Amino acid sequence: MLNTHPLQHPLQQYREMATAGQAVDQASTNMALAVLATESAKPGRHPLRFSAPVVLNLGRGMMLLSLAGAGTALAVAYLYPEQYSLGEQVAAHLLLPVMAGFFKLGYVIRLAAHHALGNYQAG
């Protein structure tokens, strides 16, 4: 069972048992998952932590990729339609608003990162 040392945290005990190759029963697994869920649900702690510069680059990259996708869809749908089949043209027409949505989402992610960095003038 998990209680190898009374002062040791249950999640740490579970990790040690799992890395040592010991058999871990279902009750121990459930207890470790419950502890993990309550630890991450504590006020002031978020289970997923991202740094603002990483999120800023994610938003910028998302904007660039969606812009490239929209440019490609625009070329297929309107600039060179005679070179593509009807199905490809329909797909390109459908992808245009999807790419616009991803661009907007990337912009919002970028703004959130600027806000986290303290740059409230970014727009």
Q: Is the pTM of this model over 0.75?
A: no
CA distances from 29 to 8, 38, 42 (A): 16, 14, 20
Integer Cα distance of 103 and 94 in angstroms: 15
Instruction: Give pLDDT, residue 1.
Output: 46
Integer Cα distance of 40 and 31 in angstroms: 14
Average pLDDT over every residue of 69-76:
97
Instruction: Give pLDDT, residue 104.
Output: 97
* DSSP symbol at 44: T
Q: Are 65 and 87 spatial neighbours (Cβ–Cβ below 8 Å)?
A: no
Domain ranges (residues) in the chain:
1-49, 52-116
- Where is average pLDDT lowest: 7-11, 12-16, 70-74, 86-90? 7-11
Within 8 A by CB and 6+ apart from 12, the residues are none
Residues 18-61: pLDDT tens digits?
A: 666 666 566 666 666 666 566 555 566 555 677 889 999 999 99
